[in-house]
Structure 1
Amino acid sequence: MKTLHIVGFKNSGKTTLIARWVRLLKKEGLSVAVLKHHGHGGQPAMPDASTDTMQFFDNGADASVVAGGGAVQLLMNAEPGFAELKRWASIGNPDILLIEGYKEQQGEKVVLLREREDWEVLRSLDGIQLIVGCPGITVDRIHIASRTEQQQLDSWLLDWIGKVNDSETI
């Protein structure tokens, strides 16, 4: 399983890029999992309070799991560490695991920049493979000037996963 972190500050385009890359990778016939760090404070959006799942959760269940219709939902009254979350995200043995955030964790990273100041803060991260945004910066790594350069971004990703073209793998 190849793992890639997509990192940057709020509104840098992380979710948009990951959604695009998920579609691309699925089109290439690969299985994809995504792990997201909810960096907006508080809990992620929860199911409606009237659901059975939330009744169990709100009454103290350590975990509430519901399955049906080909999907599974897991709620926990605890936040496991990064290694455990990564293990859970890879339960289905995906070909690719895209991670939104967790920039301080080890791993290869794509850094999305909104402005030059973002680069001053993020340049010291380990594992940077690609920098996207801020056309005026000088870097010694692969740099795509704008996140609107979708063809360049897609080509970079396919190269990163080892695809030579639509049907051939290195």
Structure 2
Amino acid sequence: MRVYGITGWKNTGKTTLTERLVAHFTAQGLRVSTVKHAHHDTEIDHPGRDSFRHRQAGAGQVIVASPARWAVMTELRGAAEPPLADLLAHLAPCDLVLVEGYKRAPHPKIEAHRAATGRALLAPENPTIRAVASDSAPQIALPLFDLDDIPAIAAFIRSEVNL
């Protein structure tokens, strides 16, 4: 499985970059999946829904299925968050998995950076970051891309994962 990450500080454009890369790669005929990490208690279900009620009653896993999509929700119930590798094992086969977040995981990544955040680059302290996509020109000894140059970023990722 080819895995490549998009990382960076909050409000640097990670989600927009991921979204645009997914659209670019799928337009080229690739099958792309994504994994999004959240640091907060993410709720994808809503109170009052049948699936929410199943989870509240104690179900460890709930599958919601419709003619358009299906999803599995797993309640950790105090257990540790699973490592990224365990989550990747649940994905169907695809050409590329784009992982948003997971700054410290060992897969290769590109860092999204916006000067307006005032945050320093993660790249100098993180050897898994192979390039930076920015709206400015930070001094970095890695490949540097304009945050909006999706074709160049996508070509870099493709070369990185031999795709």
Tell whether the structures are fold-level matches, with TM greater than 0.5.
yes
Aligned residues: CA RMSD: 2.0
CA 1:136–1:17: 2 relative to 1, 3 Å: closer
Q: Indicate conservation of the 8 Å contact 2:24/2:150, yes or no.
A: no
Cα shift readout 1:48-96 (whole Å, capped 9, x = no counterpart): 32221111001111111122214111112114232211212x3x11110
CA 1:6–1:159: 2 relative to 1, 3 Å: same
After TM superposition, the score normalised by the length of structure 2 is: 0.85
State how far apart, in whole Å, the 1-side matches of 2:157 and 2:85 are.
Answer: 24
CA 1:11–1:30: 2 relative to 1, 3 Å: same
Partner of residue 50, structure 1: 48
Between the two proteins, what is the percent identity of the paired residues? 22
State how far apart, in whole Å, the 2-side matches of 1:24 and 1:136 are.
Answer: 24
State how far apart, in whole Å, the 2-side matches of 1:48 and 1:136 are.
Answer: 42
Partner of residue 10, structure 2: 10
After superposition, where does 1:52-67 map in structure 2 within 5 Å? 52-67=50-65
After superposition, where does 1:18-167 map in structure 2 within 5 Å? 18-39=18-39, 41=40, 43-78=41-76, 79-88=81-90, 90=91, 92-115=92-115, 117-119=119-121, 121-133=122-134, 135-144=136-145, 146-162=146-162
The alpha carbon displacement at 1:114 in A equals 2.1
CA 1:102–1:110: 2 relative to 1, 3 Å: same
Q: Indicate conservation of the 8 Å contact 2:133/2:144, yes or no.
A: yes
State how far apart, in whole Å, the 2-side matches of 1:150 and 1:73 are.
Answer: 29
State how far apart, in whole Å, the 1-side matches of 2:96 and 2:107 are.
Answer: 13
State how far apart, in whole Å, the 1-side matches of 2:104 and 2:38 are.
Answer: 14
Moved more, 154-163 or 94-103: 154-163
Higher relative contact order (CA 8 A, sep 6+): 2
The alpha carbon displacement at 1:6 in A equals 0.3
List runs of 5+ in structure 2 lacking aligned partners. Answer: none
State how far apart, in whole Å, the 1-side matches of 2:24 and 2:149 are.
Answer: 15
After TM superposition, the score normalised by the length of structure 1 is: 0.81
